[in-house]
Amino acid sequence: MVVDQDLVRHLSESSVSVELQTEEMTLNIGPQHPSTHGVLRLVARVDGERAFDVQPVIGYMHRGYEKLSEVRTYPQITTLINRIDWVAGYANEIPFVVAAEKLLGLEVPERAQYIRLILTEMARISSHLIFMASYPLELGAATPLFFALRERERVLDLLEGVTGGRFHPNFNRIGGVKPAYGSGSSTRKVIQDLPAGFLAATREAMDRVLEAVEELELLVADNEIILARTKGIGVLPADVAAAYGVSGPNLRASGVAFDLRKVEDYLPYHLFDFEIPTGENGDCWDRWHVRLLEIRQSVRIVQQAIDGIPSGPLQAKVPKIIKVPQGETYVRAENPKGEMGYYLVSNGNQGPYRLKIRSASFSNISILPWILEGVLVPDIIAILGSLDFVLGDVDR
Amino acid sequence: MTSSPSETANGETEAAEADADAAVEAATPEPHPLQEFADHVAATVGGEGAVVFDTVKVEVDSGDWVSALTTARDEMGLIFFSWLSATDWSSEVQVGDPYPEAVEDRIEVLATVGDISEGRRVTFSTTLGKDSPSISSLVGVYAGANWHEREAHEMFGIDFEGHPNLAHLYLPDAFVGNPLRKSFPLLTREVKPWPGTVDVEAMPGGGDEEESADGPSEENPEA
Amino acid sequence: MSAFLSDLFANFWVSLAGKLLLVALMIPLVGMVIGYAEMKLSAKMQARVGPYFAGGRWGWAQLIADGVKFFQKEDLIPEEADRPVFKIAPVLVLISTVALLVVIPFGPGIIFRDLSVGVFYALAISSLSTVGILMAGWSSGNKYSLMGGLRAAGQLIAYELPLVLAVIGSVMLAGTMSMSGIVEAQIEAGYPYLIIQFVGFGIFMVAALAELSRIPFDMPIAESELVMGYLTEYSGFRFLFFFLAEFANMFTLSAIAVTLFLGGYWLPGIPEDVLAYAGPVIVLAKTFLLVFAMIWFRWTFPRFREDQLQSLAWKWLIPLALANIIITGAFKVYL
């Protein structure tokens, strides 16, 4: 009997090489989904549990602030830009008013600068605490949420006490912070400064935040399952992060000790002693841990600022109707989510001629198609959450 | 007015120019600390460098756009892609304040890149014509330019040649128009006139001039 | 009077009706008690108050109010759904829970039906709920539900084995598969099998958590990934069925663990004639202790990833359970 050797080989090979053919499925994650922090939509092509192509679709919350600010006056714009990154609304205002002050050539009084700095750091703490709260939830642990949110409430209460707003403080004015009311009129003299007891209350709250961070670290960082879910997941090399414009804690988690608070002069950070925490591997775990360490550094800054806050006016002299001289400048700041900047073009009028808003989350999630290639569906959520974005900050 | 040391050195040979520069110098009496860096970048990538309000701005030819940024990335270490956008320059505008003096109608493309060690950043700019503006895509140089170029494409109508997927980013697919162009009408503006002047009415007793305005700080003895 | 009662219950139909009524009442009751416990305990762990107003004090009527609310809701069935399967799935899940109660001994002679293959029956029936879950996931016509259903199926296959293997140790020691027989064997031995079968007990509890798809094994639901998994499209009383089944299942699986490993209705030092009355209380106390642990885990741990769950089952639990059987066998033969 003649055996067809080719046929034998073919059969033996085919029995090995024929894999189970599975149907690919397009999974729409969002725009309404518990883990997309708003209205992000991910179009994921998945094969079983593995996603091989994930395309983010954004724009569900585009409010056209760049266009809108062309028909608004400078003081009105701070109201708009509060709503960009709403979990750290206060921090959004800073680079914008600094840009306007730069064009105006204004010197902001020292006390106002300190207040700005303290509130910015408190906004950072509250933003990071939200992340501390929501990230374990995305991994399935519900309890850290309440511990983190409880501490955030203390910080927000203080922010509210000073600014009147929890999420949208709208506290900065060009030339300082919200001024004493009644300028020029002797009958309506209301002195507005920090509320009585604010500094002491803040000091106390900062101590509590430190304790809470300790507690969170015990709760989350010692958990084997959290480590198994985050270590080595979503590794982001520093050079890729830089090319995509990923900034802030996400960049620092990749081992880059770069913090705009150290290199830019929008607020007097050079007066304070703080470190830049960095990660080692750039994975989800590092992104979580860097933010935890940053809370501690922010607390340090606030404590130093409270000790050293000078007295003095809250507002520089500015005209009633602010006309910003002709010019253009780009001012960027280290916001909780990363680099936030405003490219301000003025033509000498009451409103900007063009305002380009560079928001951190926009660039931070532009990495998604790269970083989500070939990951498992549960890891999509783990990586997505670790980037800590806010849709308002993405869509503007 | 020639107070800066560098100007006095050139003062004698370029006396004629010194007068012309006097007005500019009044605003910036000393060369900015970043001026040297700006000149260095401009020389390396082949463009014109300037420091405007602490922002290093380098203008390059639109044909050299990609090569200039490639040089900046490879030789200057500016590996961090911050943002890319554009400004629509127009003297006759429907939205926003008209420019006081006539400006040349053009689209200025801007891209800011920086390093991730010392905090240096450069805003590159180039000029495109208003009718069907087109420029090479930066996606090959900075991967992060992808979304920024899509945004600039839909907002300004700039065509980025070589972009892998120049689809709308924010706007619906069927949207027509380029919203950030000055010629794009803003409905709120049509319905309600410029709100700025209405909003800031003079307070009793307060003047509008800068000098006469009482700074609120003066009435804040404790603060 | 008592003679009349025993005569009455000797009648097959009367006793059947009584047992049915008891089971029918027990499921919602147990479900509500555990549901309320979960709400209050999770609130305690998370520095919250939890249910507070319903019923006037401590929110004790919260679960009743929730149940009434669920019945008021519209019974939505998606256009794409496979209607008969979609409708029957929650019933199947609940039935498996009811059927499990049959073989649990609550005291000497207090058992709905003392099957000679009680353990076998219990394990077989407990897998039925996963079939119901798979049906729910498949029939919903929703991709999230489908993925949830498939995950549930994968989980069933992976954790059914350690669940069965973990039980074998106790069965070998007792030499019977009858549930009440195993309890009696433990009374005879004078110690609960937990003392020798602690490995088996651990594996059983882990596998039971996986069978229940509770955190850390709640991938079939995984609300941050799959919205609500196989539950996504369910509403109204069908959702309530799943809801009740989850809590009742916690109870029944814990009760099986109590029977097999913790000595069932027996406590050392309590005379036998007292046990006849105290038995149910002891079983309930032990069971709720285990239920409490399950609730505790749920609000402490995050969830595993699907592949991590699989490797835990295949690489750790099954080899460990097999080793446990071999050691138990050696123990049985040589001691």
Q: Which domains are assigned to chain A?
A: 25-395 (1.10.645.10)
What pLDDT, on the 0 to 100 scale, is given for residue A290? 92
C280, C235 Cβ separation under 8 angstroms: no
Residue type, B118: E
Each residue of A249-306: pLDDT tens digit?
999 998 888 888 888 888 888 888 888 898 888 888 999 999 999 999 999 999 899 8
* Confidence band, pLDDT 50/70/90 cuts, at residue A27: confident
CA distance C215 to chain A (A): 7
The least confident of A40-49, A327-336, B185-194 is B185-194
Dist CA A167 CA A119 (whole Å): 12
B63, B46 Cβ separation under 8 angstroms: no
CA distance C300 to chain A (A): 6
What pLDDT, on the 0 to 100 scale, is given for residue B16? 43
How far, rounded to the nearest angstrom, does the alpha carbon of residue A110 sit from its chain's CA centroid? Answer: 26
* Strand, coil or helix: B49: strand
Whether residue A49 and residue C307 make contact (CB cut-off 8 A), yes or no, is: yes
In the predicted structure, residue A22 carries a pLDDT above the cut 80: no
| DSSP state for residue A21 in the 8-state scheme | P
* Strand, coil or helix: A184: coil
| Residues of chain A contacting B81 with CB distance shorter than 8 Å | 242-245, 363
* Strand, coil or helix: A317: coil
CA-based nearest residue in chain B for residue A248: B116
B79: phi then psi, degrees, rounded to nearest 5: -95, -10
Each residue of B86-96: pLDDT tens digit?
888 887 777 76
| DSSP state for residue A181 in the 8-state scheme | B
List all chains that touch chain B, counting a touch as 3 or more CB pairs closer than 8 Å.
Answer: A
Of the candidates B27, C5, B195, the one whose C-alpha atom is nearest the C-alpha of residue A104 is B27
Query: CB of A79 within 8 Å of any CB in chain B?
Result: no
Each residue of C138-161: pLDDT tens digit?
888 888 888 888 888 888 888 888
Query: CB of C311 within 8 Å of any CB in chain A?
Result: no
* Confidence band, pLDDT 50/70/90 cuts, at residue B34: confident
Burial status of residue B23 (CB atoms within 10 A of its CB: 0-12, 13-18, 19 or more): exposed
Average pLDDT, chain A: 83
Query: CB of B40 within 8 Å of any CB in chain A?
Result: no
B68, B44 Cβ separation under 8 angstroms: no
Tell me whether strands A25-29 and B55-59 are parallel, antiparallel or unpaired: unpaired
Whether residue A349 and residue B219 make contact (CB cut-off 8 A), yes or no, is: no
A105, A356 Cβ separation under 8 angstroms: no
Helix/strand number for chain B, H first, E second: 7, 7
Quote the tokens at residue B189: 């503006």
Task: Establish how many alpha carbons lie within 13 A of residue B175's alpha carbon, considering only the half-sphere containing its beta carbon.
Answer: 17
Query: CB of A264 within 8 Å of any CB in chain B?
Result: yes
| Residues of chain B contacting A193 with CB distance shorter than 8 Å | 220, 222-223
Structural domains for chain B: 1-30 (no CATH), 32-195 (3.30.460.80)
Whether residue B223 and residue A193 make contact (CB cut-off 8 A), yes or no, is: yes
In the predicted structure, residue B45 carries a pLDDT above the cut 50: yes
B157, B181 Cβ separation under 8 angstroms: yes
C265, C282 Cβ separation under 8 angstroms: yes
Q: Where are the beta strands (DSSP E) in chain A?
A: 25-29, 41-47, 50-57, 172-173, 176-177, 327-335, 338-346, 354-358
Whether residue A341 and residue B199 make contact (CB cut-off 8 A), yes or no, is: no
CA-based nearest residue in chain B for residue A183: B216
pLDDT (tens digit, 0 to 9) for every residue of chain C, 335 residues total?
456 666 766 777 887 888 788 877 888 888 888 888 888 888 888 888 888 888 778 888 888 888 888 888 888 888 878 888 888 888 888 888 888 888 888 877 777 777 788 888 888 888 788 888 888 888 888 888 888 888 888 888 888 888 888 888 888 888 888 888 888 888 888 788 888 888 889 999 898 888 888 878 887 777 777 777 788 888 888 888 888 888 888 888 898 888 888 887 888 777 777 777 777 888 888 898 999 998 888 888 888 888 888 888 888 889 999 998 888 888 888 87
State how far the alpha carbon of A347 is from the alpha carbons of A99, A121, B24, B95, B180, in Å.
14, 33, 17, 13, 17
Q: Does chain B touch chain C (at least 3 C-beta pairs within 8 Å)? A: no
| Residues of chain C contacting A378 with CB distance shorter than 8 Å | 219, 222, 225, 303, 305-306
Burial status of residue C84 (CB atoms within 10 A of its CB: 0-12, 13-18, 19 or more): exposed
Quote the tokens at residue B193: 């006139």
* Confidence band, pLDDT 50/70/90 cuts, at residue A9: low
In the predicted structure, residue B220 carries a pLDDT above the cut 70: no
- List the beta bridge partners of residue A335: A338
Q: Which residue has the higher pLDDT, B20 or A155?
A: A155
The least confident of A187-191, B202-206, C172-176, C189-193 is B202-206
Of the candidates A293, A94, A81, the one whose C-alpha atom is nearest the C-alpha of residue A167 is A81
The continuous run of DSSP H or E covering A129 comes out as helix A110-138
Neighbours of C121 (CB within 10 A): 18
ipTM over 0.85: no
| Residues of chain C contacting A381 with CB distance shorter than 8 Å | 224-225
The least confident of A244-248, A250-254, A324-328, C222-226 is C222-226
The least confident of A41-45, A117-121, B208-212 is B208-212
Each residue of A38-72: pLDDT tens digit?
788 888 888 877 888 888 888 888 888 888 888 88
Q: How many residues belong to chain B? A: 223
Mutate to test the interface with C, among A54, A377, A384 (most CBs of C within 10 A): A377
Question: CB under 8 Å to B219, separation ≥6 — which residues?
Answer: A180, A182, A183, A189, A191
The distance in angstroms from the start CA to the end CA of chain A is 77
Mutate to test the interface with A, among C224, C300, C304, C306 (most CBs of A within 10 A): C224
